[in-house]
Structure 1
Amino acid sequence: MHDAANSAAEAQAIDWIIRQRDPAFGDWDDFADWLAEDPAHAEVYDALASLDQDLDALPPESAPSVVIRPREQARPSRRLWFGGAVVAALVAMVSLPNLGLFGNPDRIETAAGEHRTIELADGSKIEINGASIVELDQDRPRFARLEAGEAMFHVVHRESDPFVVEAGTSRIVDLGTAFNVVRRDRQTAVAVSEGVVLYNPQRDKVRITAGKAIEANDDDATPPQVRDVDIANVGAWRSGLLVYNAASLATVADDLRRTAGIEISVSAAAADRSFSGALVIDKDRARTVADLAALSGTTAERRGDGWVLTR
């Protein structure tokens, strides 16, 4: 009976994966209900979806689209595409026991282009971008560590029990808020869309309110400077929009790899170029890369499965 149940679950999971390759697929509520029927469904689906992602023989158009219900804001004119094959945790909140399918249940790792949303026991929510690692602690339910990548935190505020996020040497304490954190190399960036966070309260004591952001290097001896940001662009990667102000092309390339699974390298000749503007992550990856090249004054050359930006 157990083998029969597993075979049935695998057949159903394969059916969902095939159906989700159709850009017109919209049966997300029934899919969420199927996941909720049995904890094994999420495990079987994630395992098969991960295998499906690794099959190089599949044409790009076969990859299922990830659907996220965006916040109310102006939408780009083109239909947005969100890369990644593993979508179970995007369309339904995934319970913590189902996260560690192949190891530590408190360590959530996403592949490039994969987005995952989890809901914690206190009602707080973490939206995790691709190529990211988030660690939780069963003994500290109001704690998360962003080891690498990017995540948007929606925190249920408790005056006597603040939520703490660690990223590198940085410590971010919730004062009732929603905020986005990026961890790359030895740098941490924090942008707040709602409420307030306190950055490194034991050392820097930097208060970041809604519409403000910081970027801090681990080796900096002085507190980071607070700058203005557009609230609508905080965590905009969730709706397929990346916005920059004089960012390096290496940073943009890293964001595109993480958010959409697009592999871009920057030649030495173009390494000094900066980029300001907005990129819409299109279903046609080549179009997104072409937009970046045109807006940055570079040329995009196709190399294998990715692109190289040159002068």
Structure 2
Amino acid sequence: MTAQSNLDERVLDEALAWQAALERDDADWDGYMAWLEADPRHRQAFDSIALTTAMVEEHKDAVGSLFDVQGEQAIPRPHRRMKWALGVGIVAVLALAIGLPLRQQEPAPSVYAADAGKSRAVALANGANILLSPASRIVVHGKDAARIELASGEAFFAVRHDPSRMLTIEAGPYRIIDIGTRFSVNLSGGTFRVGVSEGAVAVASDKAEGEVRLQAGQQLTGGANGDLTLAPVAVADVGSWRAGRLSYSDAPLALVVADISRYSGKRVIIDPSLETRHFSGTLVIGDGSRLLPDLATVMGVAVHSQAGGAVRLGGADR
């Protein structure tokens, strides 16, 4: 085996290790980005593994049968199965498994969801690394994952700069256009918020003309009526849930309460007298049980139990 082959196998081993590491809650995103930037082959290896994983998953029954035929002595470990598929070529593997040439087709959307009480890391082949907050969900469209839909909740995006591609994140009626940056998007309670901690994004809406451009240290909030508000935000507060806290700067109360519902698992109703209120401050997440009482204390309002296990913020007992 040549020195080049040894290096290639080492790079694949590292890429496989990073793919597994990014699935953990305590994923080292800074270390991963440093590894990607250290050598152009790192990105190529990681992208190849991500693509192979997706295609093998799509045709897992056929590919599994093929691997069974190969025998465990030839390919004794799971990660060697992946490297074997990469070496032979995934298209050839699938052609052998299925017995028919594969036709290029648009893949079905991929759905990624985080369970309640637990975040989830997602690494896409196009260089987008996403951390989903608990009880959040995204839908990835297209073979190049150029369009990502935030269906609910909040997600933090770390995207490498690549002038040859444009990434679009959809959140309700809003579209975030990214060219390489770090930002957090929240779609909760009929409200929208995007905050940028590095780089820049452009935001467009079906309810407004033109685009709004955000730089690092800025956030854009949209209400149910489609009004957009651009304001400064501390970079450390962008995606603050990753550090165990929820930080808000003049956020619609509906967004705050929707976040609390996700983390506490309780349905929270806002009293009509508070519907137009906004909130600025920081709440410690913990196990989620103290979020609503802490918010009520800061705002000087009460929390009332409702039928069916729901709770209401503000107003009198009913």
User: Structure 1 residues 182, 124: closer, same or farther in 2, change over 3 A?
Assistant: same
Question: Which residue of 108, 113, 121 maps to 1:109?
Answer: 113
Counterparts of residues 97-176 of structure 1 (less than 5 Å) = 106-176=110-180
Higher helix share: 2
2:265 is the counterpart of 1:261:
yes
In structure 2, what is the Cα distance between the partners aligned to 1:294 and 1:187? 23
Q: Which residue of 2 aligns with 1:297?
A: 300
Higher normalized contact order (CA 8 Å, seq sep 6+, divided by chain length): 1
Q: Which residue of 2 aligns with 1:242?
A: 246
Q: Which residue of 2 aligns with 1:193?
A: 197
Q: CA deviation at 1:280?
A: 0.4
Q: Which residue of 2 aligns with 1:207?
A: 213
Cα deviation 1:94-136 (Å, max 9, x = unaligned): x65779xxxx760223444342110111332111123333111
User: Structure 1 residues 286, 150: closer, same or farther in 2, change over 3 A?
Assistant: closer
Letter in 1 for 2:298: L
Q: CA deviation at 1:150?
A: 1.6
**Greater Cα shift, 230-239 or 293-302:** 293-302
Q: May I ask how many residue pairs the two structures share in their alignment?
A: 224
The structure that has the greater radius of gyration is 2
User: Structure 1 residues 126, 273: closer, same or farther in 2, change over 3 A?
Assistant: same
In structure 2, what is the Cα distance between the partners aligned to 1:298 and 1:70? 40
Which segments of 5 or more consecutive residues in structure 2 lack a partner in the other structure?
1-15, 31-49, 59-107
In structure 2, what is the Cα distance between the partners aligned to 1:225 and 1:293? 25
In structure 1, what is the Cα distance between the partners aligned to 2:195 and 2:133? 15
Question: Which residue of 248, 252, 258 maps to 2:256?
Answer: 252
TM-score, length of structure 1 as denominator length: 0.59
In structure 2, what is the Cα distance between the partners aligned to 1:108 and 1:241? 23
Counterparts of residues 23-102 of structure 1 (less than 5 Å) = 68=26
Where 1:226 maps in the other structure, the secondary structure is strand
Q: Percent identity?
A: 31
Question: Which residue of 279, 288, 293 maps to 2:291?
Answer: 288
Do 1:173 and 1:201's aligned partners in 2 also have CA atoms closer than 8 Å?
A: no
Cα deviation 1:257-308 (Å, max 9, x = unaligned): 224434433334554554332100123x443332112111012245565533
Do 1:115 and 1:127's aligned partners in 2 also have CA atoms closer than 8 Å?
A: yes
In structure 2, what is the Cα distance between the partners aligned to 1:159 and 1:300? 50
User: Structure 1 residues 206, 273: closer, same or farther in 2, change over 3 A?
Assistant: closer
Q: For the aligned residues, what is the CA RMSD? A: 3.7
Letter in 2 for 1:287: R
Do 2:188 and 2:255's aligned partners in 1 also have CA atoms closer than 8 Å?
A: no
Where 1:200 maps in the other structure, the secondary structure is strand
Do 1:273 and 1:296's aligned partners in 2 also have CA atoms closer than 8 Å?
A: no
Do 1:172 and 1:199's aligned partners in 2 also have CA atoms closer than 8 Å?
A: yes
User: Structure 1 residues 226, 267: closer, same or farther in 2, change over 3 A?
Assistant: closer
